Structure 1
Amino acid sequence: MRKPIIVAAAAAAVAVSCAVAALWIRRSARRWSRVECIVRELNKRCATPVERLWDVADSMMAEMRAGLAAEGSLRMLPCLLNSLPTGEEEGSYYGMKLGRAKLRLLHVQLGGKDARVVKKGLAEVPVPINLMVDTSQELYEYMAAELGKFFLEEEKHSDRKDGTPAEVAVSMSFPVVQNSASAKTIVEWSQGFSIKEKDGEDAVGELNEAIEKLGHNMRTSLVVNETIGTLAGGRYYCGDTVAAVVLGMRTNAAYLESEHAVPKWQSAHHRQGEMVINIEWGNFQSIHLPITDFDVCVDNESPNPREMIYAKLISGMYLGEIVRQVLLKITEETSLFGDDVPSKLKIPFILRTSDMAYMHQDRSADLVAVGEKLSTLGIPNTTLRMREIVFEVCDIIAKRGARLAAAGIVGILKHLGRDGTDKKAVVMVEGGVYEHYRLFRNYLHDGVKVMLRGRFSDNVVIEHGCGLGAALLAAANSNHGKKF
């Protein structure tokens, strides 16, 4: 009697175990089905077929033309330069590049067309947080002091003997407006800088005043947006350079425009020739941009909702955050990483674009780097299948961003009539995303080629900038009688 009872109990236990296992398998299958559904929908919403890319390019071109005629979503800010570099410059020149958190100091010794850059000096210093919310005078005095230290060190090995001031040009990661009527250069502070200054304060004048206080034999000739520096660097090495793009934490573009094509400028001036236009393309908007619910969420939680939409799709400030938003939704709806949502995954911007690139560029068979990065987010012991999902999300977001950036570039080329000719057109690109995110860079190059259908793609060259633009601008503009 006892034996049948034991057998029955064992059978019941096995049945229960089987039922539990079956339930777990069904739940797991439903979970993975939902995960894959979310990823498929994301891929569909982020799709950038060639037809859509051309729609974006055409919209970019239309907005550029509108901005050249009057104020629009694209600022199309004229930059008043006497000269762009030609490669024939000679002498010793300095530059400063002010970014979001650091100040880059540059020195070049130029030897003319044959020798080019004979010598260069580079240094970087952090920008103290307190100076980002202080007065412009305090910031410029800090910049002048750091430049002075750099200058004294570099001049130890200089052959400067005639006593003429060293020429300095400055590029900044902010919109720079040049007022032709007052000849003032006004910086519009953003990206964490909340500078207090008087209306219409002249950046060039303030910097020179700060330099003079320190007694250094230097003179600032101009302050420009960083894209102008990138364009200048391109022109120094290649006269076919027609545009420049920055793809880093921030994104922007500049290009060379015929002055007769700038109606809003012609009303005050009647010069002939070319001028540099800072597009400020981050604020580009179009119904053709593939925007998802995740992008809307990122936009709503940003300091500037409904602004800088294009930048929020392609720049390093936001790419990693979009990936985090996607992973958070997957986790909340499917418990992909466990029943409890990892607390770190709820923190905005904890996943940087550099983290995204690190995972996306993992070439190991079992995606070890993806697992390592997820562990830092409080998601340990992931399976290969989980890591593959994360990898795919990174790929979708990066591919969309890179191809949209490519569409913007082609839009500029089409505006210039250089998208389908046998004439060479070079676009210089700088910025951490382009430089360090290899797969993003590859997708961008591929996007340009696909849009141009290969026929003329060999005549459009995308090159990495030299990073010396500010100093090269100082060289080009030291001779004020020179025109380009």
Structure 2
Amino acid sequence: MEDIRNMFMLTKDDLEKIVSKALEEMENGLQGRASTLQMIPTYAPIPTGNETGKFIGIDIGGTNMRIIYLDLPSPGVRGELQTIESVMPKNSHTNDEFFGYIANKLKSFVYTHKLENESIKAGLTFSFAVNQEAINKGELVGWSKGWDIKEAIGKDVVKLITEQMIKIDLKNVEIVALINDTVGTLINLAYDDPSCGMGIIFGTGTNGCYIEKTSNICAQKMRSVCKEEFIVINTEWGGLDFKEFKRNKFDLMIDEVSVNKGSQKYEKLISGIYLGWLSRLVIRELMQKKVCFERYLEKEVFSDEPDDTHFDESRKFFSRHTEITEDTTENLSRVQVILEKLGVTDSTLEERKILKEVCTLVVKRSGYLASAVTVALYRKMSSYLSSRSTAGIDGTVYQKSVPFKKYYIEGLDLLQPQDKIMCQLSKDGSGLGAVISAAAVSWKQ
């Protein structure tokens, strides 16, 4: 096991190197130089807390789609919330299938809630990288989280959805704001808390955004005029990469068979869709070396085959992964139950300990890596906006994995022992952020 431990171990020096390189990549991106961080100006207005009205939020994530209708009756007050959620169809391979599904769900929501005779402003949270030309216009840069609809690349996603809405005669809803889930977490929390300066997602994927001084961005990065002193920058930190960064053989195996091979390398070390997968690969190797569970080698237990269901299986194993790392019983009885559900009916205590340690090593590294890029955002802002030290965070990994959160905070404390970064859950941030962004745009018009 010692070689496995070494593969996933990170020291403070390792983390400081990542922070330094992330800051370097951030600056390169802001100045239009070659960078693995896209550093996309979002044009999203930072809410004041005074916005009022009734708005719709459309939240397109890596797995689910949500539509939210929210009344803001008076400044700082959130009224009745109505919402629906559905699973995005993974068999969507064309623009018509993917964006048509969104338009049809939106029309159904509008008619179900008897909103067809009202003129409604909507915000769209689109959880994939776009190059924004304005707050309501952005071209898709690329997919992540298992999606790969090539004909959408380079197209304006607001226009793609609007065209589908027109096809089905849905004309009373106007999308006035385009953001991503990360920006949504910032905007949602900033409506209530003026100290929020960062928005972060730890879920199916991972990303971070922060408030940047507009004058720090080179002119060629800005596709339209921004008169605001500050602007929200979407870093797309999942793509962070530099030659000194060490990835182990399991990371390379995942990258090799992933749908977006060679990209989103940092995301593949952190996000929920990959944590279970990494653990499965490690256990599979230990089985082959006859360290544990070798009698199940010919069975599908901990299968590492990249088949059509493999993303779903990794998601399922992530939930088990979390339970495994949280088991504090003397005999690891919760781990035993999980193994029995997987078909392992005769596990030994030593095998259960190995499984728990593997899952813990993977999630600890994930939490530490997540803390490094968070600290990079904080240090970038500290020279011009030190009052904005709160990070609004959302995502299933942050919400549901107690060990991840523990190691994330541990990493933050390791890197920033004096200047504390406040972490606050921006619950439903991506969906509510879409609503608040529509309100903020309408308020400024």
Q: Same fold (TM over 0.5)?
A: yes
Looking at structure 1, the residues matched to 386 and 232 of structure 2 have their Cα atoms a distance apart, in angstroms, of 23
Looking at structure 2, the residues matched to 311 and 199 of structure 1 have their Cα atoms a distance apart, in angstroms, of 20
Structural RMSD (CA): 2.6
**TM-score using structure 1 length:** 0.82
**1:359 partner SS:** helix
Cα 1:266–1:192 change in 2 (3 A) is closer
Looking at structure 2, the residues matched to 220 and 422 of structure 1 have their Cα atoms a distance apart, in angstroms, of 33
Match of 2:400 in 1: 436
Give 1:50's match in structure 2, choosing from 6, 9, 12. 12
Deviation at 1:205, TM superposition (A): 2.8
1:73 aligns with 2:26: no
Looking at structure 1, the residues matched to 383 and 78 of structure 2 have their Cα atoms a distance apart, in angstroms, of 30
Choose 292-301 or 434-443, whichever is displaced more: 292-301
Cα 1:418–1:355 change in 2 (3 A) is farther
Q: Contact conserved, 1:342 with 1:378, CA < 8 A, in 2?
A: no
Amino acid at match of 1:242: G
Q: Contact conserved, 2:136 with 2:176, CA < 8 A, in 1?
A: no
Match of 2:86 in 1: 125
Per-residue CA deviations over 1:4-57 (Å, capped at 9, x if unaligned) read: xxxxxxxxxxxxxxxxxxxxxxxxxxxxxxxxxx2x222223222222211111
Cα 1:166–1:390 change in 2 (3 A) is same
Cα 1:330–1:129 change in 2 (3 A) is closer
Looking at structure 2, the residues matched to 207 and 139 of structure 1 have their Cα atoms a distance apart, in angstroms, of 9
Looking at structure 2, the residues matched to 129 and 49 of structure 1 have their Cα atoms a distance apart, in angstroms, of 39
1:154 aligns with 2:113: yes
Looking at structure 2, the residues matched to 424 and 192 of structure 1 have their Cα atoms a distance apart, in angstroms, of 33
Match of 1:87 in 2: 49
**1:133 partner SS:** coil
Q: Contact conserved, 1:87 with 1:112, CA < 8 A, in 2?
A: no
Looking at structure 1, the residues matched to 269 and 162 of structure 2 have their Cα atoms a distance apart, in angstroms, of 38
Per-residue CA deviations over 1:354-383 (Å, capped at 9, x if unaligned) read: 221121112322212212222333322111
Cα 1:295–1:87 change in 2 (3 A) is same
Looking at structure 2, the residues matched to 422 and 179 of structure 1 have their Cα atoms a distance apart, in angstroms, of 29
Match of 1:41 in 2: 3
Give 2:419's match in structure 1, choosing from 444, 449, 456. 456
Choose 331-340 or 229-238, whichever is displaced more: 331-340
Cα 1:267–1:242 change in 2 (3 A) is same
Give 1:347's match in structure 2, choosing from 290, 296, 304. 304
1:159-178 paired onto structure 2 within 5 Å: 165-178=119-132
Deviation at 1:403, TM superposition (A): 0.8
1:233 aligns with 2:198: no
Cα 1:77–1:233 change in 2 (3 A) is same
Match of 2:259 in 1: 303
Q: Contact conserved, 2:279 with 2:362, CA < 8 A, in 1?
A: yes
Amino acid at match of 1:221: V
**2:435 partner SS:** helix
1:242-391 paired onto structure 2 within 5 Å: 242-263=197-218, 264-265=220-221, 269=225, 271=227, 273-287=229-243, 289-339=245-295, 341-344=297-300, 345-348=302-305, 349=310, 350-351=313-314, 352-391=317-356
Match of 2:101 in 1: 142
Amino acid at match of 1:186: E
Deviation at 1:76, TM superposition (A): 0.8
Amino acid at match of 2:282: V
Q: How many residues align?
A: 429
Cα 1:193–1:302 change in 2 (3 A) is closer
Match of 2:139 in 1: 186
Choose 239-248 or 99-108, whichever is displaced more: 99-108
Cα 1:326–1:105 change in 2 (3 A) is same
Looking at structure 1, the residues matched to 142 and 222 of structure 2 have their Cα atoms a distance apart, in angstroms, of 27
**TM-score using structure 2 length:** 0.89
Unaligned runs of 5+ in 1: 1-37
Q: Contact conserved, 1:56 with 1:288, CA < 8 A, in 2?
A: no
Deviation at 1:155, TM superposition (A): 4.3
Amino acid at match of 1:229: G
Amino acid at match of 1:462: C
Percent of aligned positions with the same letter in both sequences? Answer: 25
Match of 2:389 in 1: 425
Structure 1 residue ranges, 4+ long, deviating more than 6 angstroms after superposition: none
